[in-house]
Structures are given as structure tokens and as C-alpha cells.
Amino acid sequence: GQQVMQIPQYQHVQEGEDFTTYCNSSTTLSNIQWYKQRPGGHPVFLIQLVKSGEVKKQKRLTFQFGEAKKNSSLHITATQTTDVGTYFCAGWMIGGYQKVTFGIGTKLQVIP
């Protein structure tokens, strides 16, 4: 079945440093979404990428979708303590299937 690998699983950074998490799918995706889950909270939607090679920005967050629509990344510039949480990618399969596969998540700790 479809697999979405996400790395790293954990990342500790000093406040002000950059952070990147990567997702790779075993199959071509229709689209990919990114979610953030604060400690003790529920996943909250950040963004969706649909087109091959798409790049979207939200303030200090930059999201990319690979040309082959099999990989994606989330980059945070100059992390802040408010960025703490777990970041998940969610890949939707091509071909009319309605199932989604989440990456394992990257837990980000920001050291003040």
C-alpha cells in the first residue's frame, strides 16, 4: 500500500535557527497537505499543495511539492518558541481513492 515516509522524527533547534521536515511517498500523489499539532492538541491544517513543483509561503513557513509529486518539504525560517509542535504531512493518492496516508510526523522542540 501507499507509504509516506517523513524525516526527521525529532528535531531540536535553538530559537532563531531554521528547521526543515521532509516527506517522501512511494507513489505519486494527487495532493499533499501539512498539519501542525501542538502538544496536547489536535492537528490543525496549515496548507495544501496540488501542482507539480508548487511552492507556497506563509510568513516564515515555506512549503514545496516536488516535480514528480512524490515528495514535499516544510521549511521554517528563524524558528520561534511558538513553532513548537509536531508537523505532519498527509498524502492523498491519485486514482480516485479516498484514503489518506499521514507521515509519522516531525516533533520540533525550540530551545529559547
Partner 1 sequence: EAQVTQNPRYLITVTGKKLTVTCSQNMNHEYMSWYRQDPGLGLRQIYYSMNVEVTDKGDVPEGYKVSRKEKRNFPLILESPSPNQTSLYFCASSLGFGNTEAFFGQGTRLTVV
**Which residues of this chain interact with partner 1, rule CB under 8 A?**
1, 6, 9, 30-31, 33, 35, 42-45, 48, 50, 88, 90, 92, 98-105
**Pairwise CA distance, residues 65 & 83, whole Å:** 21
The answer to whether 15 and 111 have CB atoms below 8 angstroms apart is yes
Nearer to partner 1, 18 or 51 (CB): 51
**Pairwise CA distance, residues 59 & 78, whole Å:** 11
- Going by C-alpha positions, the residue among 97, 78, 88 that lies closest to residue 19 is 78
Question: Residue 6 CB, nearest distance to partner 1 (Å)?
Answer: 8
Element holding 18 (H helix, E strand)? none
Three-class SS state of 79: coil
Nearer to partner 1, 30 or 73 (CB): 30
Question: Residue 105 CB, nearest distance to partner 1 (Å)?
Answer: 5
Nearer to partner 1, 66 or 103 (CB): 103
Question: Residue 11 CB, nearest distance to partner 1 (Å)?
Answer: 15
Question: Residue 47 CB, nearest distance to partner 1 (Å)?
Answer: 9
